[in-house]
Copies of this chain bind each other. A is one copy, B any other.
Amino acid sequence: MGKQIRLNAFDMNSAMHNSHGLWKHPGNQRHRYKELSYWVELAQLLERGKFDALFLADVVGVYDVYKQSFDPAVRDAVQVPVNDPALIIPAMAYATKHLSFAVTVTTTYEHPYAHARRMSTLDHLTQGRLAWNIVTSYLPSAAKNFGLDGMLDHDERYERADEFLEVVYKLWEASWDDDAVVRDVKNKIYTDPGKVHEINHEGKFYRVPGPHLSEPSPQRTPVVYQAGSSEKGREFAAKHAECVFVGASNVETLRFYVQDIRRKAAAYGRNPDHIKMFMGLNVIAGDTRQEAQGKFEEYSRLWSVDAALAQYGGSSGYDLDAYDPLEFLEYKPTNHGQTTAAHFTKYAEKKLTVGEVKQKIGTIGGRGTVLVGTPADIADQMQHWVEETGIDGFNLAHFITPGSLQEFIDNVIPELQNRGIYKTEYEEGTLREKLFGQGQSKLPEDHPGAKVRRQSVNQH
């Protein structure tokens, strides 16, 4: 039996995620994102497909870099309107048993004290099926709406994120002992106050005495997700993440990222196997190659270049409309998503003109890998990526919902299962147990979140 492939569905509580312009496809149910029934049906579909998790992206601003306006993004529903991702999870959790949920929350604009309670609440309600995808937010419009003059410097966002994590680790891991809640009727003690501790955090950005408001949840710290292939991003992932979303358009680069993150993790004293790596993937499957190709062409006809460039503008900081199409690109660091900027470097290195870059980015697959073919073709390719790069699985995006996922689950999943590289039953337990083994609900000892534990907590 080959290495087991892990799968997340990559989605967003928004009118559109990254399938630019495909809201126009008659089979797309996407506009129902405002209805609980839409999400419950999706969750049940994913559970039928034995997906590990639904990964919910988020932004807290509009994309207004491209053409210096939010008009292109608004017109084509480029991640706007966008609703809160955490609030769709409880209904999905109630309607499923095993599917987990990775929710994106920014460390730049939320406060750690309120955030820690939200995550603990969700970890309780999902019975330990929660992951938190940490982002520092790349949109300047978000910064302005949270009262800043402009975006914090990329490095300062990460510095703040580091301290934010320190605070929430302390609240989750060091405030309530495992056996604090006793419900001892005879001695009239619900919670033993001697086992609830202040954390007394005083740092550069935050001062939080504690205690935490929530009692310990099944995983305490939700499984830590992180995305980002920039140098700083890989460093951060190596230190904190348990699941990393890595993006690259070729095997060599991705292999480098995977190995580099594992190497960096080891340098932090972590077991490199305590990190699962996921690659972004788009799939178009058909009974025949011709059928699959037909769908690809159908999607291409509906694709929106402007939407893709609007998304690229906000995430990279580059307004490609502001350049002469014949100009050669020069890489300049921006305060935006360094992953996207890294992607951009590649184009700069290749000496592409702005016009050529726009064309690339504006095409399906311009920003991620697309596999088109029969279920066997898809499975071959997926195995190839896993074997060649050392990744553990994929964040599966969609073109239309729930259509793309339905197609994948009905056709590709059985193929993967037949090859013995995909589970036919879920493991029991929390998400962390499902990923790292029974009895592993809590952060492993080599994780920085475990280092803040009190001695008394360690002893339990």
Residues of A within 8 A of B (CB): 13, 15-16, 21, 23-24, 31, 34-37, 40, 60-62, 69-71, 74-77, 80-84, 86-91, 93-95, 109-111, 113-114, 117-118, 120-122, 124-125, 141, 144-147, 176, 181, 183, 185, 188-193, 196, 206-211, 213-215, 217, 304
Does A81 contact B145, Cβ atoms closer than 8 Å?
Answer: no
Chain B residues with CB below 8 A from A83, complex form: 117, 120-121, 124, 213-214
Does B124 contact A191, Cβ atoms closer than 8 Å?
Answer: no
- A69 to nearest B CB, angstroms? 8
Does B36 contact A77, Cβ atoms closer than 8 Å?
Answer: no
Q: Which of B74, B94, B147 is A36 in contact with, Cβ under 8 Å? A: B94
Give the CA-CA distance A129 to B231 in the complex, in Å. 46
Does A193 contact B118, Cβ atoms closer than 8 Å?
Answer: no
Give the CA-CA distance A15 to B36 in the complex, in Å. 27
Nearest B residue to A218 via CB reads: B34
The 5 closest A-B pairs by CB, nearest first: A77-B190, A71-B193, A83-B121, A81-B215, A34-B124
Chain B residues with CB below 8 A from A181, complex form: 15, 81
Give the CA-CA distance A83 to B125 in the complex, in Å. 10
Does A125 contact B21, Cβ atoms closer than 8 Å?
Answer: no
New A-B contacts (16) at CB < 8 Å, excluding given A36-B94, A83-B214, A87-B89: A15-B191, A31-B183, A34-B124, A34-B125, A34-B217, A61-B213, A74-B192, A80-B191, A81-B191, A83-B213, A84-B121, A87-B118, A90-B91, A94-B95, A114-B146, A147-B208
Does A121 contact B87, Cβ atoms closer than 8 Å?
Answer: yes
- A153 to nearest B CB, angstroms? 20
Chain B residues with CB below 8 A from A120, complex form: 83
Does B125 contact A88, Cβ atoms closer than 8 Å?
Answer: yes
Give the CA-CA distance A124 to B87 in the complex, in Å. 11
Does B191 contact A118, Cβ atoms closer than 8 Å?
Answer: no
- A78 to nearest B CB, angstroms? 9
Does B82 contact A190, Cβ atoms closer than 8 Å?
Answer: no
Chain B residues with CB below 8 A from A147, complex form: 111, 206-208
Q: Which of B21, B95, B110, B188 is A114 in contact with, Cβ under 8 Å? A: B110
Chain B residues with CB below 8 A from A217, complex form: 34
Chain B residues with CB below 8 A from A109, complex form: 111, 113-114
